């Protein structure tokens, strides 16, 4: 449940500016408050009645704006995944060399999650709260990002057999990098992107060299 100390007490205390009147404005407020409360207290820790308490509506009327609390959570997570995928597709330079593409991908990924930290929190911590069908839809969006990253890793001359494994691992690490730094303690994103990219490429090159040495050594004919 929401603690009295941290939850907004009334709608009138909230500094909403520039939000349109009517159903559109109410839905925007509903989405924003749901995002803040879900991120702070967890999806299971917030009821529709508690959500309605900080909005100028009755609990029963929320269903005029949303299908369900779970559908609202899915909408917020899906929006984050869609926006991130579209950003990466747009901002990663298609004609650049592989290393620049990789550094841009990492930097934009980190920057986006930092700027949208509340939605990113839902993506990380509340994915399990979605239905199986909703999770499948989110996985399809994530797989599109993985395929994009696999293409970039190919431009970096990584072996085809390694790309999927590395791309999947990078997605997990990129999410963890953002979550692992406290506010204000994060180094410049350019530095993180360059370091992350060099670690990925050097680690892959080292692994490839070790495998080559192993097979060369063990296939020698006496």
Model confidence at 155, pLDDT cuts 50, 70, 90, reads very high
Residues 6+ apart with CB under 8 A from 46: 2, 34, 37, 38, 69
For residue 133, pLDDT beyond 60? yes
Do residues 26 and 56 lie in contact, with contact meaning Cβ atoms separated by under 8 Å?
A: yes
For residue 218, pLDDT beyond 70? no
What per-residue confidence (pLDDT) applies to 216? 43
Chain segment 47-93, per-residue pLDDT in tens: 988 888 888 777 777 777 888 999 999 999 999 999 999 999 999 99
Q: Of the CATH numbers 1.10.10.10, 3.40.50.450, 3.30.70.260, 1.10.357.10, which one belongs to the domain with range 69-218?
A: 1.10.357.10
Nearest of 211, 143, 204, 200 to residue 177 by alpha carbon? 200
What share of the chain has pLDDT > 90, as a percent?
A: 47
Chain segment 163-191, per-residue pLDDT in tens: 999 999 999 888 877 665 655 555 566 77
Do residues 30 and 55 lie in contact, with contact meaning Cβ atoms separated by under 8 Å?
A: yes
CATH of span 11-64: 1.10.10
Average pLDDT along the chain: 79
Question: What does the longest C-alpha to C-alpha distance in the chain come to?
Answer: 84
What per-residue confidence (pLDDT) applies to 89? 95
Element housing 17 (H / E):
none
Alpha carbons 2 and 36: distance in angstroms, whole number: 12
**Average pLDDT of 106-119?**
91
For residue 200, pLDDT beyond 60? yes
Spans of all domains in the chain: 11-64, 69-218
Give the number of other Cβ atoms within 10 Å of residue 116's Cβ: 18
- Tell me the pTM: 0.77
Convert 68-130 into a string of H (helix), E (strand) and C (coil). CHHHHHHHHHHHHHHHHHHHHHHHCCCCCCHHHHHHHHHHHHHHHHHHCHHHHHHHHHCHHHC
Q: What angle do CA 75, 77, 83 make, to 5 degrees?
A: 95
């Amino acid at each position: 449940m929401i603690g009295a100390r941290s939850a907004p007490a009334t709608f009138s205390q909230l500094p909403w500016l520039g939000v349109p009147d009517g159903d559109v404005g109410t839905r925007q407020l509903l989405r924003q408050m749901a995002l803040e409360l879900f991120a702070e207290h967890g999806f299971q820790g917030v009821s529709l009645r508690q959500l309605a308490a900080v909005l100028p509506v009755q609990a029963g009327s929320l269903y005029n704006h949303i299908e369900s609390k779970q559908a609202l959570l899915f909408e917020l997570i899906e929006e984050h995944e869609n926006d991130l995928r579209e950003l990466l597709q747009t901002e990663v330079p298609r004609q650049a060399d592989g290393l620049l593409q990789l550094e841009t991908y990492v930097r934009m990924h980190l920057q986006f999650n930092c700027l949208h930290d509340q939605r990113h929190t839902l993506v990380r911590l509340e994915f399990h709260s979605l239905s199986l069908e909703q999770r499948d839809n989110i996985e399809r969006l994530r797989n599109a990002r993985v395929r994009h990253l696999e293409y970039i890793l190919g431009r970096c001359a990584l072996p085809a057999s390694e790309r999927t494994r590395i791309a999947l691992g990078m997605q997990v690490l990129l999410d963890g990098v953002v979550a692992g730094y406290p506010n204000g303690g994060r180094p410049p994103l350019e530095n993180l992107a360059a370091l992350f990219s060099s670690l990925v490429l050097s680690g892959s090159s080292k692994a490839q060299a070790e495998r080559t040495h192993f097979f060369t050594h063990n296939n020698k004919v006496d």
